Amino acid sequence: MEKSILDLVMDFFQQHPKQDFTPDLVTHWVTEQSINNTGHLLKNVWRAIRQLHQEEILIKVKKGVYQYDPERTRDIELDDFPPHMKEAIFKRDNYKCVFCGLGRNDGVKIFADSISPKAKERNSSISNGLTLCDKHYSIKKNRSHIEAGKIFFQEMYKKAVAINDLRMVNFCKCILDTYNQYEIDGLY
């Protein structure tokens, strides 16, 4: 697959860990690479850097200076989704958390989480990815998917009660009863 601008920017920083760079230097390298590899010019290096910083992958050392430090970055695992897949997952989910609907437009950080925890299946396709907000990503990371699902329905239930949506209230009740029946404990 052809590399995206995010992939190339990441390549650059990963090849030079713990070194400070201004976007100009990165732009120079990425421009060369993109012309050599793809035959055309990829633009918006600055935007890609800002996005990777927003996702806590790059560290902003000071204004206009960025660094990649494998020890300080939010745990990017080797089997994490590569940037171009992340972007595709975000785009499909409209840059919003699939649980609560909060997203970039609300100033909330988003993450691409994999549905299947099995390393082999993790990155095989974007259908294995979900967009999650900060809060739900950290819940999901620490709990099983089934337990995370319970939180989702607990929140849906609260919302349904608040707006008096009886059909949804009953639906959530049924699901939460099933959780209780199987003794999957709540997290709160």
Q: Which residues contact 33 (CB under 8 A, 6 or more apart)?
A: 8, 11, 12
| Residue of this chain nearest to Zn ion (CB atom) | 97
Contact by Cβ (8 Å): 68, 16:
yes
Using CB under 5 A, which residues numbered 92 to 151 contact Zn ion? 97, 99-100, 133, 136
Per-residue x/- mask for Zn ion, residues 8 to 27, rule CB under 5 A? --------------------
Q: How many residues does the chain have?
A: 188
Does 157 contact Zn ion by CB under 5 A? no
Give the nearest distance from C-beta 184 to Zn ion in angstroms. 20
Residue 70's CB is within 10 A of a number of other CB atoms, namely 11
**Residue among 18 and 141 whose Cβ is closer to Zn ion:** 141
Task: Classify each residue of 101-116 as buried b or exposed e, where b means 16 or more C-beta atoms within 10 Å of its C-beta.
Answer: ebbbeeebbbbbbbee
The residue count for binding Zn ion (CB under 5 A) is 5
Give the nearest distance from C-beta 131 to Zn ion in angstroms. 9
What does the binding site for Zn ion look like in residue numbers (CB under 5 A)?
97, 99-100, 133, 136
